[in-house]
Amino acid sequence: MNEVVAIARGTPDGAAVPGRERLGVLLANLGTPAGTDYRSMRRYLSEFLSDPRVIDYSPLWWQPLLQLVILSRRPFTSGAAYRRIWNRERDESPLMTVTRDQTEKLRARLRRHDPDILVDFAMRYGEPSIPRVARRMVAEGCTRLLFVPLYPQYASPTTATACDALFRALADVRMRRQPALRTVPAWYDDPDYVAVLARSVREGLDALDFTPDLLIFSYHGMPTRFVAEGDPYEHQCRTTTRLVRQRLGLAEDRVAVAYQSRFGSEEWLQPYLDELLADLPRRGVRRVAVVSPAFVADCLETLEELAIANRELFLEAGGTHYAYLPCLNDREDHMDFLEGLVLRELAGWLRPAPAAAAAEASR
């Protein structure tokens, strides 16, 4: 109880007020290390790779392997990769920067509809954590909460684990009053999302000084057995790709789907992006552009893996032109979409702003 009161008193949006009921919107993304040093990277990677939604092997043998072997080396390589794209001005990862910018823009938009609405963001791994932000929002009077995992395509290692973290926070017996809760479903085939994504891809392609032979839609990979066990991720990725391709008017042979960032030795969704890029020049495809619709914010996997490492791989394999097309980030049409998505999911909860209510009452 003291922790909740202390959190409320220290928050910029105001302390809890008895009887005050507020509407809340909580955005969630994957996470970020606090720094690029060994200890920060180890702490972040340990939390991430200990999540059974991400690595579902038996902890009896996985944890010794992770803690004694993998985390003795991986923090150094991951830290070096983060340093290549780190936002040095703010001393934070690009994912943190973009997610904060998205949140601030969405907050300003939603407060036109409800000046008292709470809009914040959290990370599944690292800080600000989902439990900490959720508890703070409840302490500030949030009695209805819309949770928005920032993943257009549903996947158990991303969407589901973010929801798990929130559900566990609300299950804490010290939380005497839980908020009413809604979670936003995946929007992989939403016509407005498809239109925004297609527009960003078209603008990116038009800005290039070459015409790609192939446009690659690269999605974060996952073990194939996850799909066999019922995860809809692969289907949703391919649906997004098909809808955007059709909207762009591209022939099927001008577009490819691939999966990046695999981990471990078991079979993951294919084709693997790195193997595809290494093979394309041999097949006469020497100019490519890559877009990554599974991410709504540029991050390590896009800015370092796609934009730098895979570019080097493709050019070394004989490619001549390579371009990475940025994520939607906080561009205005993307924020228009997110605002519309949230307003749709808030239907029945959102009270009209005082001016709108007065105008309606005077009719």
With a pLDDT cut of 70, the percent of the chain lying above it is 91
The CA distance from 34 to 176, in Å, is: 32
Q: Give the distance from CA 35 to its chain's centroid.
A: 19
The CA distance from 123 to 91, in Å, is: 17
Q: What is the pLDDT of residues 223-262, one digit of tens each?
A: 999 999 999 999 999 999 999 999 999 999 999 999 999 9
Contact 259, 234 (CB under 8 A): no
Indicate the average pLDDT of the chain.
92
| pTM to 2 decimal places | 0.90
- Residue 12 has a pLDDT of 41
Contact 196, 337 (CB under 8 A): yes
pLDDT higher than 90, residue 200: yes
Angle between helices 332-345 and 191-206 (to 10 degrees): 170
Domains and CATH numbers, the chain: 2-186+332-351 (3.40.50.1400), 191-324 (3.40.50.1400)
Q: What is the pLDDT of residues 273-296, one digit of tens each?
A: 999 999 999 999 999 999 999 999
Contact 128, 122 (CB under 8 A): yes
Contact 287, 211 (CB under 8 A): yes
With a pLDDT cut of 90, the percent of the chain lying above it is 88
**Spatial CA neighbour of 109 closest among 341, 293, 355, 359:** 341
Q: What is the pLDDT of residues 289-331, one digit of tens each?
A: 999 999 999 999 999 999 999 999 999 999 999 999 999 999 9
Residue 185: CB atoms within 10 Å:
12
Q: What is the pLDDT of residues 41-75, one digit of tens each?
A: 999 999 999 999 999 999 999 999 999 999 999 99
